[in-house]
Amino acid sequence: MTRVVFIGAGSVVFTRQLVTDLVGYPDLDGLELVLHDIDPDRLAVAEGTARQVNDRAGTHLVVRPEADRRRALEGADFVVNMVQVGGIDGTRKDLEIPARYGLKQTIGDTTGVGGVFRALRTFPFLSGLAADMREVCPEAMLLNYTNPMAMNIWWLSVAAPELRAIGLCHSVYWTAHGLSALVGAPFERVRYRAAGVNHQAWLLEWTLDGEDLYPRLRERILGDPELQRRVRVEMLERFGYYPTETSEHSSEYLSWFLRSPEQIAKYRIEPLQYLGISEGNVQEFEDAKASLAKGEELELEHGEGEYAPKIINAITTGTSVEIHGNLPNRGLIDNLPGDAVVEVPVVVDGQGLHPQNMGSLPWGPASQNLNYISVGRLAVEAARMGDPLLVRQAVLVDPNASSSVTPEQIWAMCNDLVAAHGDLLPEPLRVSLPATWA
């Protein structure tokens, strides 16, 4: 029996989507689904959700909640990680403390100051998870959804290189899906491939029955002044390729967009947007909890662009599917560093994962990926070496931070974040550093 373990199963909406997708594969009927979360209330809601999905689908999943992580992992074939260390409180600190210094973010979960501190909170958890997997399920495949995706997979490649791990994100799928709808291309006939880094990959191939769809997109943009006031459209104009994450995300990876009120207004950006999204996620959990308590049916939806169920089905049944995944750059993108984590097409079949070599990126897009990679490298090295100076340097080289605040402010801001996050950070990094020579 295939055993799938959800770590952080209390992310109930995500759990609901993944379970709904899993029961949609006839050949996976009867698999064992083990749910783990450190919050008893969230674990109970996750269990109730999975059982309701199973019952309504008429399938035969074996659902088992398990509060002990090590016991949950025993005998696992696939481990799906969706843990957010620090929860909504950590998110508030990552966004609100920099905002007091004038550094604006929209999401704060990928790169820049928010991504760095989220990564530093997550690395110790990943090390613990990897240690448990090494002992009780060393052959299992780790399917990671937790952000910051690239930094987390990079950390695992350093801390636990023997584990089979891949980072999964739906941004490439939904970008291609949304753009195809925009230009009137039936998605089932569209071919697309992207490469770069997570949340800043580039749509390199996008065709309908062999027709390049970029000319259609440019014509559509030229006819709509409102579309022209979007971050990703500006990036397309300057670099020639469309990036595969939303304008809200993309705005905080570059130096051009959040540096002034005028730019924010021009590109219709909403700073601190993720606070509202996070509060909405908390409310969705409370709603699901209340619905289950009343015996009501939950609203089910397929996570159409989610890759974990596709991987589990392909490997288990020996079928083949192509997804996009995040893996260490071992000969995948020629002009990005070999130890960095990149996002590329990956063929999955009964033999496992087969990432595709994408050659060299165009140098314009690659230059932006290199900025992003530099932030991640410094964050990983800060944790590996226990060096608090590298934490500040990671933020200092971030384009958004360096365009908005001074080095002195960055040092002071990082001191505040270290104090705010406290013992969630690795112990050697829980120190303040003088912000000036004085």
Residue whose structure tokens are 């195809």: 180
Contacts of 19 (CB under 8 A, 6+ apart): 33, 49, 50, 53, 54, 61
Residue 1 DSSP one-character state: -
Contacts of 88 (CB under 8 A, 6+ apart): 278, 279, 281, 282
Token pair of 122, please?
């997550």
Determine the Cα–Cα distance for residues 274 and 249; give it in Å rounded to an integer. 10
How many Cα neighbours within 13 Å face the side chain of 66?
A: 19
CB 271 within 8 A of CB 99: yes
Token pair of 206, please?
């996008």
- 416 CB burial (10 A radius; 0-12, 13-18, 19+): middle
CA 365 and chain centroid, separation: 20
36, 170, 177, 302: the active-site residue:
170
Q: Is 170 assigned a catalytic role?
A: yes
- Host H or E run for residue 50: helix 40-57
Determine the Cα–Cα distance for residues 26 and 386; give it in Å rounded to an integer. 48
Determine the Cα–Cα distance for residues 206 and 340; give it in Å rounded to an integer. 25
Beta strand segments in 306-361, E: 321-328, 341-349, 352-355
How many other C-beta atoms are found inside a 10 Å radius of the C-beta of residue 284? 15
Active site residues: 170
